[in-house]
Amino acid sequence: MAGKLILAIDQGTTGSTALVVDDKLAIRGRATKEFRQTFPKPGWVEHEGSAIWESVESAVHGALVEAGVSPNELAGIGITNQRETTCLFEPGGKPLHNFIVWQDRRTAPLCHELKNAGREAGVKQKTGLVLDPYFSGTKMRWLLDNVSGARQRAEAGSALFGTIDTWLVHKLTGGKVHVTDATNASRTLLMSLSSCAWDAELLALFGVPKAALPAIASSSEQYGSTKGLSFLPDGIPVCGIAGDQQAALFGQACFSAGEAKCTYGTGAFLLMHTGTTIVPSSHGLLTTVASKIGSEVCYALEGAAFIAGAAVQWLRDGLGLITKASEIEALARSVDDTGEVCFVPALAGLGAPHWRPDARGVLSGFSRDTHKGHVARAVLEGIALQNVDILGAMVGDAGKLSVLKVDGGAAANDLLMQMQADLLDVPCVRPEVIETTALGAAALAGLAAGVFSSKDEVKRVWRENKTFTPKLPAADRERKLGVWARAVARA
């Protein structure tokens, strides 16, 4: 083993971040490089492979420089990625088309066709997912049908599919390895949750040849080693992979059933660990692989709220109540409560568990005494309340929620975190390092590279910043939940 340092590559929707992480999960170096998205038609979103690769190269170089270390000191590389974004490329890594981003909606007609044919229930039973353009399988079908020669080449194995992790590993290993992990494969509509293998019936349904698909590996093992790169020497093991939300769950050391995490970004992404049990959802949630380490496969329930931090941006840019997002906490603290003002953040419809794309935001409960402090407080409370709905659905499907670990930019807001604990009636725990997505990739790679001996050791070095303990009286919580439910019905 070269040393005790791990390089974590976090390849996201608008940029790539690289961290150099030590054996205490402390960040020694960090760099980010943004790249542009392209929008060829309304509802279409694409990335250029060359732009992603250049961003990764730049971020890796910057993180190593900031850490003041040689790449020869790295014990391994972990990768986390925007999950459903779909790549079609030649052996060696040359893209055959721009990558189709998870946000892209071009395959909506195919999804409607399959739903109308009565195929959704069977797909959900096998995959834990719904028929939606979000996932990779229909994107693969579109590429096969619309890129000249793609289907013939894919059937012959001379055109390869993958998510971003697959393509990065292929490039990092000099074209030697074509692999994904079970967390990313579980987002394709093509993998059986129970077997963690490509499902022949699903491949036939979506018309995707198995010859073009990567091998499905665990989330922590040596897939290959770097070879032929300008920015890293040969021989560094690539040994950890997880999709971004699963990596954040792992980076929060949520390893047991009932532990959950919420990442507060533009939206809010919530995962609750369900242990080694596949829990089908009857409350509008997704079932997904949380991690696969060795032969142990762990699962999670997942739900997302479309608007979280974006609601604060709306207060700033749309209403002009604040000039900087960071001002919202002080403004919200200028009042003791919302004064019965309620905000439903349905600015882009409602996601899980309501699934009402036609819903619109509601700001209600005004009186002559209402001022902007009440509105600011109601916006924060609305962000927390929609998460209560999602986590309540998770509890309905899987049982007790023991703890919510929080990360992402808005997790720095103490008032929002206290509201979340109060309205959930469950402790919310914020880590010292809120970049938990990259930390999860580092921890998974560290397990395979011998930097960490076990998940227990990862849990020991994970560090808490603050725990927010519920303080709101039960009667007040029930009253707020009632006001919220009536507002959601009007959204």
Q: Is the pLDDT of residue 491 over 80?
A: no
Token readout for 118 is 């009565």
Q: For the segment 111-170, what is each residue's pLDDT rounded down to a tens digit?
A: 999 999 999 999 999 999 988 888 999 999 999 999 999 999 999 989 999 999 999 999
Q: Render pLDDT for 239-276 as a digit per residue (tens, 0 to 9).
A: 999 999 999 999 999 999 999 999 988 888 999 999 99
Indicate whether 104 pLDDT > 50: yes
Q: 438 with 411: CB under 8 angstroms? A: no
Q: Is residue 2 predicted with pLDDT exceeding 70?
A: no
Q: CATH assignment of 5-245, given 3.30.420.40, 1.25.40.340, 3.40.50.10540, 3.40.50.620?
A: 3.30.420.40
| Range of 197-206, 309-318, 340-349, 355-364 with top mean pLDDT | 197-206
Q: What are the start-end ranges of the H helices in 87-135? A: 108-116, 120-127
The rounded distance, in Å, linking the Cα atoms of 91 and 374 is 57
Cis amide linkage into residue 427, ω under 30° from 0: no
The single-letter code of the amino acid at 22 is: D
Distance CA(426)–CA(474), nearest Å, equals 12
DSSP 134-182: TSHHHHHHHHHHHSTTHHHHHHHTSSEEEEHHHHHHHHHTTT---EEEH
Tokens matching residue 47:
């990335």
Dihedral angle sign, alpha carbons of residues 349, 372, 409, 469 = negative
In this prediction, residue 238 carries a pLDDT of: 98
What average pLDDT does range 25-33 have in this prediction?
Answer: 94
Q: Is 37 left (phi over 0), alpha (psi -120 to 50) or beta?
A: beta
**pLDDT over 70, % of the chain:** 100
pLDDT at 61 over 90: yes
CA-CA distance, 234 to 228, in Å (whole number)?
A: 6
162-194 pLDDT, tens digit per residue, is 999 999 999 999 999 999 999 999 999 999 999
pLDDT band of 1, cuts 50, 70, 90: very low
Q: What is the mean pLDDT of the chain?
A: 92
Q: How many CB atoms lie within 10 A of CB 360?
A: 13
Query: For residues 342-358, b (16+ Cβ closer than 10 Å) or e, as one string?
Result: bbbbbbbbbbbbbeeee
Q: Give the residue ranges of DSSP H helices in 200-266.
A: 200-206, 244-251
pLDDT tens column, 214-239? 999 999 999 999 999 999 999 999 99
Average pLDDT over residues 82-94: 94
Q: What is the mean pLDDT of residues 201-225?
A: 96
Rounded average pLDDT over 47-58: 96
Assigned fold of 253-491: Nucleotidyltransferase; domain 5 (3.30.420)
Cα 245 to the center of its chain, rounded Å: 3
The separation between CA 420 and the C-alpha centre of its own chain, rounded to angstroms, equals 20
* The two three-digit tokens of residue 103, written as one number: 């946000």
pLDDT band at 366 (very low <50, low <70, confident <90, very high): confident
Helix (H, G, I), strand (E, B) or coil at 125: helix
Structure confidence by residue, pLDDT tens digits, 401-444: 988 999 988 898 999 999 999 999 999 999 998 889 999 999 99
Cα–Cα distance for residue pair 248/246, rounded to 1 Å:
5
Helices and strands (H and E) in the chain: how many: 16, 23
- Which residues 6+ apart lie within 8 Å of 42 measured at CB? none
Going by C-alpha positions, the residue among 402, 194, 386 that lies closest to residue 279 is 194
Contact between 49 and 95 under an 8 Å Cβ cutoff? The reply is: yes
Arithmetic mean of pLDDT, 333-353: 86
Could you tell me where in the chain the CATH 3.30.420.40 domains are found? 5-245, 253-491
